[in-house]
Amino acid sequence: MITRVSIKNFKAIRDASVDLTPIHLLIGANDTGKTSVLEAIAAICRSVDHDAPNSFLGRWEGRELVNSAATEAQVEVGIDLDIDSNASSYKIEATFPASGRDIRWKMATAGTADLNGIPIGDPQRTLRTETEISGARFHRAGHVINVPHVQKTTVISAPVLSAVAALNANSAFEAIKRPEWQIAQQISEAVGGCWYLRWTARNLALPTALNPDRRFRLEGNGFGLPTLIDDLLNYDRESFTALEREFTQIFPHVRTIAFVQQQGFNSPVDQADETLTLQPSAGKQVVFRLKNTDRDLPASQAAEGMLYTLGYLALMYLPQPPRVLLIEEPENGIHPNLVGGIVRILRRLVERHPETQIVMTSHSPYLVDAFQPEEVTWCRRNESGDVVLTRLDTLPEVERSLSVFSLGEIWTGELEPVHSREDAQ
């Protein structure tokens, strides 16, 4: 689990850190760095299984992701982790070009409490996607970074951590014993396979073509929901039945969830620029079979809240969810009275899969009410315009007011108005 994230010179954030919990919420007004925090976490998580340009999500080029006050075109993101009750850390530093997307890793370091630094390799060397040594394959190759000795830190490859030991060993057996291999594998397993979800109901409703590369996968924009649920049905019918039962309890006019074949779409998997490129292909569509009628309700005509709820239930019943889930505004399309139910679904996901961590953003006080103060970080700008990240459990005014007001009321009624007036002065 990521226990702390530190960010320098990335988008809205000049220099800020925050402690995280297994499920964590970022709140604040518009343009206060909430999305910047999520995208920074996504970048460092993706760095273990993507190259530098594809570690940073979205449509951007040149130095657009570098904070406007930065004196150098360099971004730093670091995380502290708790891996099986052992403290570890991982940090990346990236240099951005004047134009284009040709990012260069300047440094990648990882540390544990009892491991001294080991400089490795040539900063310009690029490995093949698979390095084969003595019959064993070491996946996820990338640039190997060479930096000075750092106490209690191992310098490792970026974005691929696990191939480093292979470069410095004569056999696969020796490689597995090397400290670089062990710490690289731990970090890769702890944060690899991160999903960043910015769903739209339109994309959730699109009929999807079968694609083996998208098995048990949902794109960040929401594309792929029909095949994800169909994968669940074919793999674990009991889990699908439980999902269907919960969905029909929330929406009692629905009798069953079904699939129909129709003209659908395929799209490239895991596009870093998050562009939805659709290619017509035979596919499947989700339909809701309603009570007291023989007509089906296709997903394309269903209420947005039904699609979002179905998506979150599908995440919870995945056989192996991502280790890190980043979610933008899960309250979108959800009635205020049901927002708390979405949080309960996400909490159950973490309970079912304790290795999964969820960090999300929100503008909804109803969603804030479903959290404890230590699970919420308030993002705001100070009088200098810098983003400040503050956990609510560190604010005395929150502790004083909790006996009278809900956490959402304290945020919108006390914190934001007070600090808005202070900043204006």
- Answer yes or no: do 167 and 216 share one domain: no
373 pLDDT higher than 50: yes
Task: Quick: pLDDT tens for 42-76.
Answer: 999 998 888 888 999 999 999 999 999 999 999 99
Residue that finishes a domain, picked among 294, 320, 346: 320
- Answer yes or no: do 85 and 168 share one domain: yes
- Answer yes or no: do 171 and 251 share one domain: no
Task: Quick: pLDDT tens for 17-43.
Answer: 999 999 999 999 999 999 999 999 999
Phi, psi of 256 (to 5 degrees): -150, 165
Asked, for residue 229, whether it belongs to a domain, the answer is yes
CA atoms of 144 and 133, how far apart (whole Å): 17
- Which domain, by its residues, includes 222? 201-320
Residue that finishes a domain, picked among 320, 338, 362: 320
Using CA atoms, how far residue 374 sits from 40, 42, 256, 399, in Å, is 21, 22, 39, 11
Sheet-wide strand order for 104-112: 13-19, 2-10, 74-83, 86-95, 104-112, 154-155
Pairing assessment for the beta strands 324-327 and 195-197 based on DSSP bridges: parallel
Asked, for residue 310, whether it belongs to a domain, the answer is yes
Asked, for residue 153, whether it belongs to a domain, the answer is yes
Give the number of domains in the chain.
Answer: 2
Asked, for residue 303, whether it belongs to a domain, the answer is yes
- Answer yes or no: do 66 and 168 share one domain: yes
- Answer yes or no: do 56 and 135 share one domain: yes
Q: What is the pLDDT of residue 177?
A: 52
Phi, psi of 305 (to 5 degrees): -60, -35
Q: What is the pLDDT of residue 143?
A: 34
Task: Name the band, by pLDDT with cuts 50, 70 and 90, for residue 120.
Answer: very low
Asked, for residue 275, whether it belongs to a domain, the answer is yes
Asked, for residue 242, whether it belongs to a domain, the answer is yes
Query: Which tokens is 357 given?
Result: 């961590």
CA atoms of 195 and 325, how far apart (whole Å): 5
Secondary structure, 3-state, 22-41? CEEEEEECCCCCHHHHHHHH
- Answer yes or no: do 172 and 228 share one domain: no
- Answer yes or no: do 153 and 208 share one domain: no
Asked, for residue 398, whether it belongs to a domain, the answer is no
274 pLDDT higher than 80: yes
Q: What is the pLDDT of residue 212?
A: 92
Asked, for residue 126, whether it belongs to a domain, the answer is yes
- Answer yes or no: do 280 and 231 share one domain: yes
119 pLDDT higher than 70: no
Residue that finishes a domain, picked among 305, 320, 335: 320
- Answer yes or no: do 94 and 120 share one domain: yes
The set of residues, in sequence order, having a beta carbon less than 8 Å from that of 23 and lying 6+ positions away, is: 346, 347, 350, 357, 358, 359, 371, 375
- Answer yes or no: do 184 and 90 share one domain: yes
- Answer yes or no: do 142 and 268 share one domain: no
- Answer yes or no: do 183 and 81 share one domain: yes
15 pairs with which residues across the strands?
8
